[in-house]
Chains A and B, each alone.
Chain A
Amino acid sequence: MFNFLNEIKENLKNPKGFELGNFNIINISGYLLYVEGHLGLVTLSKELISFKVKKAVVVVEGKDMILSELSDNTIKICGQIKKVEQI
């Protein structure tokens, strides 16, 4: 099956050989954040949403945020997204 993100990964150069198969995050216009490959929700509030990914935690800061979708593998965050940080 055609996967848009896999196509991008194949076409991008990865000279240092980083591992690219852990998770994907797409920020659409700062209002919709699509996450693939999360490992569980850590924090949920209107200003801060954080979730675990492989070997890290991703923190999303923003305003009036809601989880418009939460499944076993994906997250969709809707709201005004100010910062996405991996720690």
Chain B
Amino acid sequence: MKWKNETKFHITGLNQEKLLNELSKKVDLSEIERNAKNDTTFKCSYFEHKKVLKVLKNKNVNLKAVEHEGVAFRVKQLLSCYGLIAAVVVISVLYFLQSGFVLQYEVSGVDRLSAEEIVAFVKTENPSMRTIIDTETVESSLMSEFDGISFVSCIVKGQTLVINIKEKLMPDEMYGEFKPIAAKKDAKITEINLISGTLNVKVGDVVQAGDELVSPYMIDTSGNLKKVEAKAEIKAEVYNEGSVDHYETFIEVNRTGRTAVLSEITLFGLEIYNFKEEFDFKMYDVEFEETSLVKNLFLPFKMKKTVVYELAENVVESKFDEVKEEYIEKARKKALENCENCDTIKDEFYTLRHLAGVTIVNYCIVTEEVISV
């Protein structure tokens, strides 16, 4: 873009020298160039081009082109873009209108109260026009609506309503989620240390997993129910059991050692070669193995190997007395698996139950644990 404000005229016609002499008396001309006998171009200042046009209008010349250039012309061109001007005006009006509204709410200082609830209440109870909104009314309405507020101050900052809240201080036991304490295991209660809440059990009670031990409320001297956080440490004897069955006669399946191998080579999943050993096993077990024969991916030859193992059934007879200790230990290990985070092992014992051909070993480990969750 050229900065100099100029207008270029292109004229055709007769006796142009006379015309140029007349023009030069009113306007300074520049870059006058005769392109052909009756064809001339010249320039003048953009601010004086109307004078030139006025002279040319009364003369017998043909005005072929008028070209403007320079900053002033560009500015004038922009100003004459009515669509653009209309858009700027509309946007300005919309911006002015929306600047009168509170668009954002900022709540600070809330811990127990919900900021979303406060914002929703302020939105419904108060106008959103910035000029109409009365911060004192907002403060008083919040104080009356929410019991947990000790102090509140509001200011309108730009298009944001800033609500600063100080919550009421409450006793420690009144904080929390107000959920009851439940037993995490089946147990017999041995010790209770209640901190807050209402106790539903006593020492010696047998409870099941999930039973409510402490409720999250208290009843004051006036008989009013008040929500508090349930806090207690409840210890109990937990019976952790593990059980193993012993059969005097059972069938054991083992591999005999005889095998048969079936191999096949494939390319892109299609079988191109196979080799099969014949076998006549009545019972068998099968294992598969697939390996690539080449490393490159252009020809992915693969070998699939199937190994068939012959199986045989054996009837095994076992007397419980001979393997008693081994089975008791197995049952104990199972019982120990249930003793997660146990504090103290108080006692352990086992019981044997003899049925027809079966002996059930039941091992029990008694632990003392905190069962309140």
Do A44 and B17 touch (CB < 8 A)? yes
Least CB separation from A45: chain B residue: B34
Q: How large is the interface on B (under 10, 10 to 19, 20 to 34, 35 or more residues)?
A: 10 to 19
Do B30 and A68 touch (CB < 8 A)? yes
- A77 shortest CB reach to chain B, Å: 10
Do B17 and A70 touch (CB < 8 A)? no
Do B21 and A40 touch (CB < 8 A)? yes
Do B28 and A69 touch (CB < 8 A)? yes
**Residue numbers in B under 8 Å from A45 (CB-CB):** 34
- A15 shortest CB reach to chain B, Å: 36
Q: Do A44 and B24 form a contact, CB below 8 Å, given A69-B29, A71-B29?
A: no
**Residue numbers in A under 8 Å from B17 (CB-CB):** 40-44
How far is A46 from B37 in the complex, measured between Cα atoms in Å? 10
Tell whether A85 is near chain B: CB-to-CB under 8 Å: no
Do A67 and B16 touch (CB < 8 A)? no
Tell whether A66 is near chain B: CB-to-CB under 8 Å: yes
Q: Do A68 and B40 form a contact, CB below 8 Å, given A41-B20, A43-B17?
A: no
- A86 shortest CB reach to chain B, Å: 18
How far is A67 from B29 in the complex, measured between Cα atoms in Å? 9
Tell whether B277 is near chain A: CB-to-CB under 8 Å: no
**Residue numbers in B under 8 Å from A41 (CB-CB):** 17, 20-21, 24
Which among A43, A46, A66 has the highest number of chain B CB atoms within 10 Å? Answer: A66
Quick one: CB contact mask for A58-87 with B, threshold 8 Å, 1 for yes? 000000001111111000000000000000
Do B34 and A70 touch (CB < 8 A)? no
User: A44: which of B25, B31, B40 is its contact (CB, 8 Å)?
Assistant: B40
User: B31: which of A43, A66, A71, A72 is its contact (CB, 8 Å)?
Assistant: A66
How far is A61 from B20 in the complex, measured between Cα atoms in Å? 19
**Residue numbers in A under 8 Å from B28 (CB-CB):** 69-71
Tell whether B32 is near chain A: CB-to-CB under 8 Å: yes
Do B16 and A70 touch (CB < 8 A)? no
**Residue numbers in A under 8 Å from B31 (CB-CB):** 66-68
Do B21 and A44 touch (CB < 8 A)? no
Quick one: CB contact mask for B287-327 with A, threshold 8 Å, 1 for yes? 00000000000000000000000000000000000000000
Do A71 and B32 touch (CB < 8 A)? no
Q: 8 Å CB contacts to A: which residues of B1-39?
A: 16-17, 20-21, 24-25, 28-34
How far is A66 from B289 in the complex, measured between Cα atoms in Å? 95
**Residue numbers in A under 8 Å from B40 (CB-CB):** 44
- B89 shortest CB reach to chain A, Å: 44
How far is A68 from B42 in the complex, measured between Cα atoms in Å? 9
How far is A40 from B251 in the complex, measured between Cα atoms in Å? 134
Q: 8 Å CB contacts to A: which residues of B33-79?
A: 33-34, 40, 42
**Residue numbers in B under 8 Å from A70 (CB-CB):** 20, 24, 28-30, 32, 42
Do B32 and A67 touch (CB < 8 A)? yes
Q: Can you list 12 A-B pairs with a CB-CB distance of less than 8 A?
A: A40-B21, A44-B16, A44-B40, A46-B33, A46-B34, A66-B31, A66-B34, A68-B31, A68-B32, A70-B28, A70-B32, A71-B28
By a beta-carbon cutoff of 8 Å, the part of chain B in contact with chain A is 16-17, 20-21, 24-25, 28-34, 40, 42
